[in-house]
């Protein structure tokens, strides 16, 4: 037996006589198209991941050769090359961490996490982690959390990763000396929304529908230069889906972007 989707297609194909009005044939066509698309996406993903890893590996191999040869007696060059090599290794580590994270979430995509999560604590801990990076770029992160914010229903570690990715992006793509605002509010019955708004360059509307695809970047060179893996928003999207939440992206080129996450909240007594 193959994957369940394949079984379903095979099953439908065995019933051609039932398709007197042609409607069944249409369903089969649709299913195989979706299946082929999923297969192509998986193949593209493996090719992209391999390519992303190959670049720093090639870089490392090149520097090792240089250190063995021309730079052997040159202490200053050696130091500089070792610094670049450490950066390349770090890039590979980030990429592998993100790949593992994606695969872990995907394996549990259908199980809904159900712990009580104190979002104020999550957002403060993320801010602690990113404060240094933000101030080194001249960006101020402002937390604006409603005092009556209900707890979210979810997984605290996964939600930490969501806001780490969104706030890290906001800081990365913000213009210097601007503010990133993180606004958390109760919303509707048993929901909570957290918006991360930056004053960055924004994202042209044509890119928005594909932004959460793995390795999709508006400007690949810029993303790499800023240390991005191109997987952050794919991880965010998967975690939010698993929580039965929503991710909305609004962006005005030249003004900034707002990423809004809506999550189920714990029912308040
Ligand atoms: P990356 O590691 O490249 O930042 P992400 O998956 O987090 O990968 O984001 C995908 C792409 O979306 C980025 O490369 C960038 O082009 C765009 N992007 C994400 N967040 C922002 C933002 N706050 N402002 C502008 N562009 C953004």
CA 145 to centroid of ligand 1, rounded, Å: 24
Give the pLDDT confidence of 142-151 residue by residue, as tens digits.
999 999 999 9
Q: What is the pLDDT of residues 168-184, one digit of tens each?
A: 999 999 999 999 999 99
The confidence band for 32, taking pLDDT boundaries of 50, 70 and 90, is confident
Ligand 1, atom 7, lies closest to the CA of: 232
* Per-residue pLDDT at 189 exceeds 70: yes
Distance 209 CA to ligand 1 centre (A): 13
Would you list the DSSP string of 201-269?
Answer: ----GGGGGGTTSTT--SSHHHHHHTT--S-HHHHHHHHHHHTT-EEEEEEETTTEEEEEEEEEBPPP-
Q: What is the mean pLDDT of residues 190-212?
A: 97
pLDDT band for 28, please (50, 70, 90 cuts): low
Q: What is the pLDDT of residue 2?
A: 47
To the nearest whole number, what is the mean pLDDT of the chain?
A: 89
Give the pLDDT score at 116. 97
User: So what's the pLDDT on residue 22?
Assistant: 56
- Rounded to two decimals, the pTM is 0.85
Please tell me the residue having the least CA distance from ligand 1 atom 20: 169
What pLDDT is attached to residue 113?
A: 94
Å from CA of 169 to ligand 1 middle: 6
Rounded to an integer, what distance in angstroms lies between the CA atom of residue 79 and that of residue 81?
Answer: 6
**HSE, side-chain direction, 13 A CA sphere, residue 99:** 13
Q: Is the pLDDT of residue 52 over 50?
A: yes
DSSP bridge pairs for 258? 197, 250
**Stretch 209-235: mean pLDDT, rounded?**
94
What is the whole-number distance in angstroms between the Cα of residue 228 and the centre of ligand 1? 8
pLDDT in tens, 128-141: 999 999 999 999 99
- Two tokens, residue 174: 């913000």
> Which atom of ligand 1 is least distant from the CA of 170?
23
Interface confidence (ipTM) of the complex: 0.98
Q: What percent of the chain has pLDDT over 70?
A: 88
The pLDDT of residue 25 is: 55
Report whether 134 contacts 141 (CB < 8 A). Answer: yes
For the residues 91-110, what does the mean pLDDT come to? 92
Taking CB atoms and a 6 Å cutoff, what residues make up the pocket around ligand 1? 165, 169-170, 173, 198, 200, 203, 211, 217-219, 223, 228-234, 257
């Amino acid at each position: 037996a193959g994957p369940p989707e394949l079984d379903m297609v095979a099953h439908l194909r065995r019933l051609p006589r039932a398709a007197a009005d042609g409607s069944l044939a249409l369903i089969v066509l649709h299913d195989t198209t979706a299946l082929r698309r999923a297969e192509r996406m998986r193949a593209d993903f493996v090719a992209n991941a391999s390519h992303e890893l190959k670049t720093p590996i090639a870089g490392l191999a090149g520097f090792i050769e240089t250190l063995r040869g021309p730079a052997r007696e040159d202490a200053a060059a050696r130091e500089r090359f070792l610094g670049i090599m450490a950066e390349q290794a770090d890039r590979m580590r980030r990429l592998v961490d993100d790949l593992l994270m994606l695969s872990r979430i995907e394996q549990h995509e259908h199980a809904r996490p159900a712990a009580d999560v104190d979002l104020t604590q999550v957002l403060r801990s993320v801010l602690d982690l990113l404060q240094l990076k933000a101030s080194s770029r001249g960006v101020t992160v402002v937390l604006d959390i409603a005092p009556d914010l209900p707890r979210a229903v979810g997984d605290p570690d996964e939600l930490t990763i969501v806001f780490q990715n969104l706030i890290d992006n906001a800081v990365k793509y913000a213009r210097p000396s601007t503010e990133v605002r993180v606004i958390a509010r109760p919303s509707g019955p048993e929901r909570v929304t957290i918006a991360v708004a930056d004053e960055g360059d924004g994202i042209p509307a044509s890119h928005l529908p594909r932004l959460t695809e793995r390795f999709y970047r508006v400007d690949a060179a810029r993303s790499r230069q800023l240390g991005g893996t191109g997987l952050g928003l794919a991880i965010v999207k998967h975690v939010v889906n698993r929580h039965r939440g929503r991710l909305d992206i609004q962006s005005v080129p030249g003004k900034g972007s707002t990423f809004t996450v809506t999550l189920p909240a714990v029912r308040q007594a």
